[in-house]
Structures are given as structure tokens and as C-alpha cells.
């Protein structure tokens, strides 16, 4: 399935728009990561535990959006966007959303 942040897929024509599609996940940070983050606040630098957590959360949200789009019978999502919000202290929601569309097949797809 093609997922793009643009409003079209280059070289392909949108045949049908099926509507908005989304995927989300709420992730909580780990106490061990909090300790490392506190130290990083003092000395500076990347907090690898948080970076890994957010990377995994984005991938899971994308997977959920793709599955939702598949169930709608689509082969592409255009205009994909991510949003992040704090749910409570130590937990954040990662949301990815876009427009589920059917695009024309290319010769490469056959």
C-alpha cells in the first residue's frame, strides 16, 4: 500500500476517494528511560530510549492506519499526517491520519 504526505501520487490518478482513515497508539515511558532523560537534561544529548519509543509508536500507528485502509478496500493513503499529544504525565498518543483513496494501477503493479 502506498502512503504519501502529498495530496496525490505522482504518475497515478485517483479513481475513488473513500474517506478519512487513521491509526493511533498510546505509549507510556519507562521509569528507566526517565532516569536517563534526567541525566541527559544535565549533560545534554539525545535520549535514545525515548527516540526508540517514539519510532516504534509511529510505526505501529502507521500499521494500524494501513490495516484500516485495507479494510476499506483502498490501495493508497494520501495527505498522511502525524500528530502527538500528551494523554497524562508519562503517556502520549501518536495519531496518523490521511485520506483513503483508490488509485489507478500502474504497469509495475500487474
How do residues 17-74 score in pLDDT, each as one tens digit? 999 999 999 988 655 545 555 555 566 666 667 778 888 999 999 999 999 999 999 9
Question: CA-to-CA distance for 47 and 34, rounded, in angstroms?
Answer: 9
Please name the residues in contact with 48: beta carbons below 8 A apart, sequence gap of 6 or more: 36
Question: CA-to-CA distance for 74 and 97, rounded, in angstroms?
Answer: 14
pLDDT of residue 95: 96
| Fold held by 2-109 | Translation Initiation Factor IF3 (3.30.110)
Q: What is the DSSP string of 50-89?
A: HHHHHHHHHHHHHHHHHHHHHHHT-SEEEEEEEEEEEEET
Q: Cα–chain-centroid distance for residue 84? A: 10
Q: What is the pLDDT of residues 69-94, one digit of tens each?
A: 999 999 999 999 999 888 777 778 89
pLDDT of residue 28: 80
76: region left, alpha or beta (phi > 0 left; psi from -120 to 50 alpha): beta
**Which of 13-17, 53-57, 103-107 shows the lowest per-residue confidence on average (mean pLDDT)?**
103-107
pLDDT of residue 46: 67
Q: How confident is the model at residue 100 (pLDDT cuts 50, 70, 90)?
A: very high
Amino acid at each position: 500500500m502506498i502512503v504519501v504526505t502529498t495530496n496525490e501520487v505522482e504518475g497515478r490518478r485517483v479513481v475513488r476517494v473513500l474517506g478519512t482513515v487513521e491509526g493511533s497508539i498510546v505509549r507510556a515511558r519507562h521509569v528507566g528511560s526517565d532516569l536517563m532523560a534526567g541525566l541527559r537534561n544535565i549533560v545534554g544529548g539525545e535520549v535514545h530510549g525515548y527516540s526508540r519509543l517514539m519510532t516504534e509508536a509511529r510505526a505501529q500507528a502507521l500499521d494500524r492506519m494501513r490495516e484500516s485502509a485495507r479494510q476499506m478496500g483502498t490501495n493508497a493513503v494520501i495527505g498522511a499526517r502525524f500528530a502527538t499529544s500528551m494523554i497524562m504525565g508519562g503517556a502520549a498518543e501518536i495519531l496518523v491520519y490521511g485520506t483513503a483513496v483508490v488509485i489507478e494501477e500502474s504497469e509495475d503493479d500487474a
